[in-house]
Amino acid sequence: MSNSKRRNFQIEAFKHRVVVDPKYSEKTWKILEHAIHEIYNHNASGLSFEELYRNAYNMVLHKFGEKLYSGLVTTMTLHLKELSKSIEAAQGGFFLEEMNRKWADHNKALQMIRDILMYMDRTFIPSTHKTPVHELGLNLWRDNIIHSSKIQARLLNTLLELVHRERTGEVINRGLMRNVIKMLMDLGSSVYQEDFEKHFLEVSANFYSVESQQFIECCDCGDYLKKAERRLNEEMERVSHYLDAKSEAKITNVVEKEMIANHMQRLVHMENSGLVNMLVDDKYEDLGRMYSLFRRVHNGLSTIRDVMTSHIRETGKHLVTDPERLKDPVDFVQQLLDEKDKHDKIISLAFNNDKTFQNALNSSFEYFINLNPRSPEFISLFVDDKLRKGLKGVSEEDVEIVLDKVMMLFRYLQEKDVFEKYYKQHLAKRLLSGKTTSDDAERSLIVKLKTECGYQFTSKLEGMFTDMKTSQDTMQGFYASQASETGDSPTLAVQVLTTGSWPTQSSAPCNLPAEILGVCEKFRTYYLGTHTGRRLSWQTNMGTADLKGTFGNGQKHELNVSTYQMCILMLFNNADRLCYKEIEQATEIPPSDLKRCLQSLACVKGKNVLRKEPMSKDIGEDDAFFFNDKFASKFYKVKIGTVVAQKESEPEKQETRQRVEEDRKPQIEAAIVRIMKSRRMLDHNNIVSEVTKLLQPRFLANPVVIKKRIESLIEREFLERDNVDRKMYKYLA
């Protein structure tokens, strides 16, 4: 009751609210809806853009945005369902074409719809967080066409079928394919990935898994790689023609995995055509292909590298341990160089100069060269051979190339000091016998050694060159001072060698013939007169002499012999027959050398200026020797070499080895002291490792030797053991 009363008193607010024609929104929407129909029906030419734009604007302005938007969704969905039917109805090959055509239509319609609804797109949609018109059109296409049950599977199968047909060599319509794939990408990357790419990759994996199995059964490695490479290129080309660029990495991954990674071991080790055969036969192209394919997969290159390394090590080991090859050091080293050249070429031509491959090659060489303890000697002999004769008529650049190659081998050596020993010996021989063909080449090599190993390494070698030069000057001075007295006494050429620089085997001098002795004395007086405080001792074991002799029938010859041989032959000026003992007594030449000299004088055919009884190859202590007046030679000058082993004999080798070991002792000690001086206190293992590291450039120090040296240093009170921890050494200043 009171309620009704109160209502009676209520005063109505005074308002003139403008009410829009209730049918206004309905009418306006009808116009727009009609326009959308016309657009989809390709009948837009009769539409007025301005009117439609204004109507859409008015709907939004008058708060009918929601109605406009939902009307758009409904109308567009309706049309898409129709499009969907016509696509479904397309037969066989026309399916994709129909889809492509309808997609183009829809896109055009969507653009026009967006044009008239632009005001809604700009104002109503952001403020209500709705999907913008263009995106809405794509979403509706996706939901009503692409994801329609009758189309989804058919589309996927059609696409995959086309790809398969192209893989098996058919020509397909790539343009159409590109358009359809682009449609999937336009609908969002997830549509492309889920509705196509995922399946595409799966099918591809199956395809290549089967195909690679077939190939590997019937092809050799080279052919297989060619096929794999072609497939890879085809897939990349496919991506560039009609797939999303982001798919390239994925599909190549599939091919790499199925065609390469899964068969890597089998390919590399394939019988008669695998990696080792390729290396042996220098198949640069195949190797290059293998490299570029394998580098794409995980562990691919390391697989190649490992096989290559073990192959090089194997062949190298065979090379350096084959007793046949050890007979000729020059050939031995040449083989090593050839092997290195071969693999260098492979790495540069086929393996892209890959640093890791170069390292593998180097470490392999280092490994097998040091398997043979005589490698340092052989390399030095190789150099000796080259510098003696091998470089005649060779241009300067070529000499450099040979020397560089030798240096490369030298770098692989662990026992560089052994090489130095031999090199010194060989150099000394070359210098003293005047056999070196090129002073420049000699010096160039010295410079190389110096840059490689430092000043210390070559100072003595350089000293040898200096001695040679000084000796020349000395001899000139000597003859200038003796000019009046020389008369017809023998000509003397002395090389004054600094003790220590040269590898002298200290041997007692033999008894020189009186004629020579006189000149020698004169020289000694001259030399000591110009240089005070020096001592000269004769190294008769290293000299040479030229003798003129008259044989039967008055035939005259000049004999080129060693100093020892000269001493022996001079004895025969006074006697026609001498037995071994007599010669030994008269000359005091060490027995081994004497035997060698006699052998070369009496047993070499064509150069036998002496005759021996009994006639045999070897020299016995009871043999007797005669002047051979029947000696004949068609040459005036006859060079009588000493029978001398070019390679070292076993005892000599032992001796060299021993000398090397002996020389290492002070170096090891110096290294220990240097380290301890800076560290003050260090345990045994660390000393050993540091010493080894410090000496690495020269040789590989033996831990046992290091231990002995430490002990010796403790004895001499350079070091002491720690009282608490016996493993620790302390440096005593």
Binding site for another protein (CB under 8 A): 44-50, 53-54, 57, 108, 111-112, 115-116, 118-119, 122-123, 126-127, 129
CA distances from 241 to 183, 238, 248, 378, 380 (A): 14, 5, 11, 61, 62
548 token code pair: 């003129």
Backbone angles phi, psi at 710, to 5 degrees: -60, -45
Q: How far is the CB of 22 from another protein (least distance, A)?
A: 23
Q: Which is nearer to another protein, 126 or 641 (CB)?
A: 126
Tokens 């290195």 found at: 340
What DSSP string runs through 432-498? HTT--S-HHHHHHHHHHHHHHH-HHHHHHHHHHHHHHHHHHHHHHHHHHHTTTT-TTSPP-------
Over the range 350-368, which residues count as b (16 or more CB within 10 Å of their CB) and which as e?
bbeebeebeebbeebbeeb
Q: Which is nearer to another protein, 112 or 561 (CB)?
A: 112
Q: Which is nearer to another protein, 122 or 637 (CB)?
A: 122
Q: How far is the CB of 18 from another protein (least distance, A)?
A: 19
Q: Which is nearer to another protein, 127 or 574 (CB)?
A: 127
Q: Which is nearer to another protein, 116 or 586 (CB)?
A: 116
Q: Which is nearer to another protein, 57 or 465 (CB)?
A: 57
- CA 229 to chain CA centroid, Å, is 24
CA distance 633 to 611: 15
Q: How far is the CB of 335 from another protein (least distance, A)?
A: 56
Tokens 């399946």 found at: 199
| Helix/strand/coil for 627 | strand
CA distance 495 to 539: 10
CA distance 640 to 568: 13
Name the residue among 668, 660, 663 with its Cα closest to residue 703: 668
Q: How far is the CB of 50 from another protein (least distance, A)?
A: 6
Q: Which is nearer to another protein, 112 or 140 (CB)?
A: 112
CA distance 385 to 391: 9
Q: How far is the CB of 104 from another protein (least distance, A)?
A: 13
Q: Which is nearer to another protein, 116 or 638 (CB)?
A: 116
Q: How far is the CB of 122 from another protein (least distance, A)?
A: 6
**Do the Cβ atoms of 490 and 516 come closer than 8 Å?**
yes
Q: How far is the CB of 75 from another protein (least distance, A)?
A: 18
- CA 662 to chain CA centroid, Å, is 37
Q: How far is the CB of 125 from another protein (least distance, A)?
A: 11
Q: Which is nearer to another protein, 118 or 579 (CB)?
A: 118
Q: How far is the CB of 49 from another protein (least distance, A)?
A: 5
Q: How far is the CB of 39 from another protein (least distance, A)?
A: 9
Q: Which amino acid is at 621?
A: E
CA distance 80 to 109: 11
- CA 312 to chain CA centroid, Å, is 13
Rg (alpha carbons) of the chain, rounded to whole number: 49
216 token code pair: 């590997």
Q: Which is nearer to another protein, 66 or 314 (CB)?
A: 66
CA distance 290 to 260: 10
Q: Which is nearer to another protein, 64 or 119 (CB)?
A: 119
CA distances from 680 to 43, 687, 710, 730, 732 (A): 99, 11, 14, 6, 8
Q: Which is nearer to another protein, 54 or 721 (CB)?
A: 54
Q: How far is the CB of 57 from another protein (least distance, A)?
A: 6
Degrees to nearest 5, angle at CA 241 with 239 and 246: 30
Q: Which is nearer to another protein, 46 or 487 (CB)?
A: 46
Q: Which amino acid is at 482?
A: Q
- Give kind and range of the element (H or E) at residue 204: helix 198-218
Q: How far is the CB of 116 from another protein (least distance, A)?
A: 8
Q: How far is the CB of 445 from another protein (least distance, A)?
A: 53
Q: How far is the CB of 65 from another protein (least distance, A)?
A: 14
What DSSP string runs through 84-118? HHHHHH--TTHHHHHHHHHHHHHHHHHHHHHHHTH
Q: Which is nearer to another protein, 59 or 512 (CB)?
A: 59
CA distance 689 to 97: 76
**Do the Cβ atoms of 244 and 181 come closer than 8 Å?**
yes
Q: H helices then E strands: how many in the chain?
A: 32, 9
